[in-house]
Structure 1
C-alpha cells in the first residue's frame, strides 16, 4: 500500500475559525469533485461497466472523506461553532447523496451496463450500486421522489438534533460530602466540595458510573438515577417521535411494511420479523439464569432493606457489586488500583500490537483538535498502513458515549485509513468494565485500519453488514479478561501485577448477572424494534411495555431513558445487532486456545480472513473461512448456561 498524500486535517488547525473555514471548504471541494465526476460519466457515450464502477468509486471517495471529517467535527471539536459547521457540512453532503440516489439518468446509465467481464470486487460494487438506487426510490414517480428527498433532509436534521441534545444535555446533582459515603478516595479527590460545601456530580460516565457502583447512600444513588434516566428529556421525546415517523413514511413510500423491514434487508438478519424472533430466542435462553441471579441480588438488598420486594437500577449496580465482593471475593475498589489509565492505554497498544502483528508509533507532532488527543501511525512489517487518533476523556460539548469514527477510509494506492476513537474515561484509576469497553472500541479501530487496503471505498474497513460490525470488537473483549494478558500491564502503585487468582475471581463475578444483563439487552433491542414497527404516540409507554416484557427489573416512574439512548437514532430498529454479533464473537473465539491467546497462526488467520477483507465479502463467508464451517449459536448458548 502506498502512503497517502499529506493532508492537513481541519481538526489540526489551532484557531476555531480556521478549522471552520477549512471544513466548509473541504465540503465545497469534495462536492465539486463529485459533481465533476458525475458530469463526466453522463457525458460518456455508452460507458463500460468498468468506467461506471470506477467513477462511482471516485464519487464515494470524495463524499466519504468530506462526510467523515464533518462527522468527527460535529461530535468532538471543542468549539461549538466548529461543531455547528460540521452539522452544516453533513447536511450539504447528505443532500448531494440523496440527489445522487434519485438521479434517474445516472441510474439508467448504471442499469445499462453488464457485470460481464468484471472481476469479483467490481461486480460486487456494481450490484451494491444498483441495490442502493432501488432502495433510494429512483424508480418511483416524480412526486414520490420529491417527497423522499424532503424526508431525507428532515431525517438528517432530526438525527443531528437528537444527538446534539444528548451531547448538551449533561445533568448534575449537588450533594454533601457525607452523602458520598463509600466512594473511592481518588474519586473523592477529584470531586472537592465548593464554597457552599457541596459536591457537584455530573451524569457523565466517569462521575456517575462509580457513584452508582460504590456510593452507599441510597438517596444519592436515587438522585443520580433520576438524572441519568432523564438526560435530554423532554426535548428528545418529540425529536424521536418525529424521527420515527419520518423513517416509517420513507419505508412506506419505498414499499416496505415497516422501517425495520427496510433496514434489515441489507443486514445478515434480512427481515424485521427475524429481529423479534432473535430477541425472543435470547430472552428465553437467558430467563432461568436471569431470575436466579436477580434473586441473589434481591436477597442481598433485603438484608439491608427487609421490606424490599423488588430491585431497580437505583440499587442494582451497588448490590451487584456487594454480591461480587462478598460471594466471589471481588472488591472493585481493589481491582481498579491495577488499572491506571495511562498504563492501560499503553497495555492496550502492546497487547493488540502483539496479537495482530502491528506497531503503534506515536506521532508527537501530529496536529490534533484537543490536547487530550494522541495520534499513532500504524505499521505492519515496517510499512505504514494507517493512523489512529485516541480522544478518550470527557469534556463539554463532546460525544458522550464510546465509539469509533472514520476520518479517512483506506483505498489501495490512494489514501491510508485513519480512524478516531472517542470515549469518556477517567484520567486516573479505571473500572475494569471501562478497560473492557476500551478493548471493545479499539477492536473497531483495528478493523477500520487492517481492513483499509481496499480497491473500492465502499468495502473499506468496517464496511460489512451492520449486524456483524460488533463481532470483532466484542471478541477482542476476551483479551481484557485473560489473567496473563492483564498481568502484562495491569499493575498497582507498587508495580505489582494483578494476581491471577484475582482475575479468576473477577471472571466468576462477571459471570454472575450475565443472564439478567442479556435480558436487559433484549429490552433495549425489543424497544428499538418496537419503535420502528408500529405507529408511535407515546415512546415512554412503549418503553415500559418492552421493559416489562424483557427486562427482569421494573421501570422507574417518571424516567425517560429513550431520550438519551443514542442508538435509537444510529441503529434505529437494529440494536439487536449487539447480541447477534456476540453470538458470532463467541463462536469465533472458540477457535483460539485459552492457554495461548497470542498463537500467531490463529491470530494471523483471523486478521487476514475476517478483518483484512473489510466488506469485500459477506460476513457469513468471512467467518466460515476462519472457522472452517458456518457460525452457530452453540458457543453462545454454552457460555450463557455455564
Structure 2
C-alpha cells in the first residue's frame, strides 16, 4: 500500500486511454479478489473480516472515481468513453456484490460484540446496504434488481452526456451587446458573418442574462439555456424514473422517495413534502414583497407588464441592486480577477482550518489538462491530501460545478485526492461566482480533512446526503465578509474592495432571498414529485409545480427538466440544498461574526464536524459542535431580516 498521490499520465499523452482502462481494471480485479477471499476463506476475527471488506471497498471506490471523473473532464472523447465503460463495470460489480448471498452470509454472521464504535458502525451500515440492495429477496427479484442497476448507470451516463454535449448559442449583432462588461465584449469578437456568438455555457449566459440591455436577445439566450438536452433527455428521464419506481417497489417501498430518504436525515418521503411546504410558507411574504419591487422596475420600461419571468429576473434584480441598493455588479467584479480569487481562497481556508496548500509543478502533478492547478495539502507539517482545480470551461467538459473524488483517503493506505470542476471566467469574476467557488471548495476541504480515517466508508463527504451541502454553504459566509475579502479582492489599480461596498453587497444580496427560496422549493418539489407521481408529460407537470411553488411564471417553450442534472445525482432529494442551509445558518451562529478566523471556534468546527466524515450521524456531529441540537431559528431569523 502507498500514501503517495495517484500517478497520472502527462497532459494530452496517448497513455491516458490505456491508463484509464488499466486503472479501472486493476482496481476492479483487486476488489473481486479480496471478496472471493472473504467468501472462500474469511479471517477468523470479525475486525479482520471488516478490514478485508474495507480494502475491497477502497479498490471499488478507486475504480468508481476513475469512471465518474474522467468521463466528465477529460478533453479526449475516446478517454471519456473509456471512463464511462469503467463506470459501467463498477456499477455491475457493486450491484453483484450487494446481491451476493454468500458474501452477505459471511458479514451477517460476524459477532459484533468485540468491535469498537467505528467498526460496529461499518458492520451495521454494510448490512443495511445489503438489505437495501435486495440480498434477502428471492432469486427472480434479485435478477431483476441486477438488471435495473445496470440499466440505471447507462441512463445516468446518457443523461449527463446529453447535457455535456448540447452547447447551444445565439448570434447577435454587436450593438445588441450593450450593457455587457467591456472585458466580456472583448472576449467575444465579431465573426466573419458580422455577428457575435453567445453560448449557453455559464461564462456567457450568466453575464448576458444579468447585464444585456436587449430584452429580446436575453429571452432568446435564456430560452436556449432552458432547452438544453431537449427533447433527448425527456425520454431518458422517463426511463430513469421508471427504473427507480420499479426498484423501490421490488424492495417493498411505496415510492423511490421513501427508499431514498430512509438513509437521510429527513427519514421519509412524506417528510420531504412537508419540509418543502414549510419553507414555502416561511418565505412567501419576503418573496412576494421583493417580486413586487422587480415588477415595478420592469414597468418603468414596459408599462403594460403584468408579470416577470426568467428572461428578465436576473437583469431587473441587478438594476434594483444598482439603482435602489447602490451596488453595481460591474463595479464589484473589477475587484475579483480570477487568479487573485483563487489564491485568496487558498489563503483564507488555509488560515481558517490550519491547512497549507503547496503548488505542485505540472510535470509532477501530471494532470489531464494544462489549465488544471494542483496543490498538496498539509496539516501540522504532514501531507494529508492533494487537490486539483479544473475551473474553466472547454468542449466536452462537465457544465456545472461539483467536487469529484480521485481517491478517498484511508489512513496508512492512500491519500485523499479531490478535484474541483467548475466553469468560471478566466478574467474577472462575478461575485456570485466567487461565492460559488467558496461553496464548492468547501466540499474539497471536507473531502481532504475527513480523509484520514481507517474506514473508507467514513472517508470524505460521507455523511447523510442531505447534510453534505451544509459545510459548503457555511463557507460561503467567508465570501461575504469585508475583512476576509480585503485580504484578496483588489482592482487593477491595486485598490482593496471598500468595506462599505461589501456591506452594501450584503444588503443587496438579501434582496430576493425570499423568491430564491421559493424557486429552490420549486426545484425540490419537482425532484420529489417526479419520483412519486408518474406523469406522461414532464413539461406540463413542471408548469403545474412552478405555478404552485415558484413566484415566477413558466417561460414559454422551455423544458428545464432536461438539463436539471440534479434529477440524476440527487434524484428525489433536491430539498437537500435548503435542508442543509437551515443547518449551515445554525452552525454559523457559533462563530464570532466580528472575527471569522477565531481559532478556537474554527478548530472545533474542523475537528468535530469536517474531520469526522461519516463516523457519526450528522445530527450528532452538529450537536457536538453547537452543544445543542440544531434548530430552524437562525434560518428563520435570516429569512425575516
Find the partner of 1:329 among 326, 329, 334: 326
Listed one character per residue, the Cα deviations across residues 92-131 of structure 1 (whole Å, up to 9, x for unaligned) are 1110110000000111111111211000010000001100
SS in 2 for 1:201: strand
Question: What is the distance in 1 between the residues matched to 2:54 and 2:425?
Answer: 41
Q: Which residue of 1 aligns with 2:356?
A: 359
CA distance in 2, matches of 1:259, 1:153: 17
The DSSP-based 3-state class of the residue aligned with 2:387 is strand
Alignment gaps of 5+ in structure 1: none
Q: Which residue of 1 aligns with 2:635?
A: 636
Q: What is aligned with 1:154?
A: 151
Residues 10-62 of structure 1: CA deviation (Å, up to 9, x unaligned): xx334454211111111221121111111111122684321321121011111
CA contact (8 A) 2:12 2:369 kept: no
For the pair 1:233 / 2:230, whether they are aligned, the reply is: yes
1:307 aligned onto 2:300? no
SS at match of 2:467: coil
Among 209, 212, 215, the residue aligned to 1:212: 209
Supply the distance in 2 between the matched residues of 1:442 and 1:3 (Cα, whole angstroms).
26
- Structure 2: distance between partners of 1:596 and 1:281: 33
1:415 paired residue number: 414
CA contact (8 A) 1:267 1:466 kept: yes
- Provide the C-alpha distance between the structure 1 equivalents of 2:143 and 2:42, rounded to a whole number of angstroms: 28
Q: Residues 123-202 of structure 1 correspond to what in structure 2 (within 5 A)? A: 123-202=120-199
Distance in 1 (alpha carbons) for counterparts of 2:159 and 2:25: 26
Q: 1:112 aligns with which of 99, 104, 109?
A: 109
C-alpha spacing 1:547/1:331, structure 2 compared with 1 (3 Å): same
1:101 equivalent in structure 2: 98
Report the Cα distance in structure 2 between the residues aligned to 1:73 and 1:614, rounded to whole angstroms. 25
Per the alignment, residue 87 of structure 1 pairs with 84
CA offset digits 1:472-508 (Å, max 9, x no partner): 0000000000011111100011000000000011100
Q: Distance in 2 between matches of 1:518 and 1:498?
A: 29
Tell me what 1:556 maps to: 555
Q: Residues 321-377 of structure 1: CA distance to partner in whole angstroms, max 9, x if unpaired?
A: 000001110000000000000010000001010000001000013111001100000
Aligned counterparts of 1:16 and 1:147: Cα–Cα separation in 2: 41
Question: For the residues of structure 1 that align with 2:28 and 2:203, how far apart are their CA atoms?
Answer: 40
Structure 2 contact 5–417 (Cα < 8 Å) conserved: no
CA–CA separation in structure 2 for the residues paired with 1:343 and 1:361: 16
Alpha-carbon displacement from aligned partner over 1:444-481 (angstroms, at most 9, x marks no partner): 00000001101010100100000000000000000000
Q: C-alpha displacement at 1:536, in angstroms?
A: 2.5
Partner deviation per Cα, 1:245-282 (whole Å, 9 max, x = no partner): 00110000010000000000000001000001000000
C-alpha contact (below 8 Å) 2:390/2:421 kept by paired residues: yes
State the alpha-carbon separation in 1 of the partners of residues 43 and 311 from structure 2: 66
Residues 383-392 or 360-369, more deviating: 360-369
Report the 3-state secondary structure (helix = DSSP H, G, I; strand = E; otherwise coil) of the residue aligned with 1:360.
strand
Which region of structure 1 is more displaced relative to structure 2, 334-343 or 25-34?
25-34
The equivalent residue for 1:497 is 496
Relative to 1, partners in 2 of residues 1:15 and 1:296: Cα closer, same or farther, differing over 3 Å? closer
Match of 1:531 in 2: 530
Match of residue 516 from structure 1: 515
| In structure 1, C-alpha distance between the alignment counterparts of 2:41 and 2:535, rounded to whole Å | 48
Contact 1:34 1:62 in 2 (8 A): yes
Instruction: Tell me how far apart the structure 2 counterparts of residues 200 and 262 of structure 1 sit (CA, whole Å).
Output: 45
Indicate if the aligned counterparts of 1:359 and 1:379 stay in contact, CA closer than 8 A: yes
The TM-score normalised by the length of structure 1 is 0.98
Quote the offset at 1:6 in angstroms. 5.2
Matches of 1:640 and 1:56, distance apart in 2: 46
Tell me, what secondary structure is at the counterpart of 2:420? Answer: strand
TM-score (norm 2): 0.99
Q: Give, in whole Å, the separation in 2 of the partners of 1:267 and 1:17.
A: 42
For residues 418 and 542 of structure 1, the distance between their equivalents in structure 2, rounded to whole angstroms, comes to: 41
Q: Structure 1 residues 5, 344: CA separation in 2 closer, same or farther (over 3 Å shift)?
A: closer
TM-aligned CA deviation for residue 3 of structure 1: 6.9
2:449 match:
450
Superposition pairs of residues 554-633 of structure 1, within 5 angstroms: 554-633=553-632
Q: What residue is the counterpart of 1:253 in the other structure?
A: 250
Q: Distance in 2 between matches of 1:463 and 1:638?
A: 30
In structure 2, C-alpha distance between the alignment counterparts of 1:343 and 1:404, rounded to whole Å = 21
- Do the aligned residues in 2 keep the contact of 1:411 with 1:453 (CA within 8 Å)? yes
CA 1:220–1:15 in 2, change beyond 3 Å: closer, same or farther? closer
| Cα separation, 2, equivalents of 1:229 and 1:18 | 38
Q: Which residue is equivalent to 1:43?
A: 40
Counterparts of 1:343 and 1:16 in 2: how far apart (Å)?
30
Between 103-112 and 274-283, the greater mean CA deviation after superposition: 103-112
RMSD over aligned Cα atoms: 1.0
Contact 1:4 1:414 in 2 (8 A): yes
**Gapped regions of structure 2 (runs ≥ 5):** none
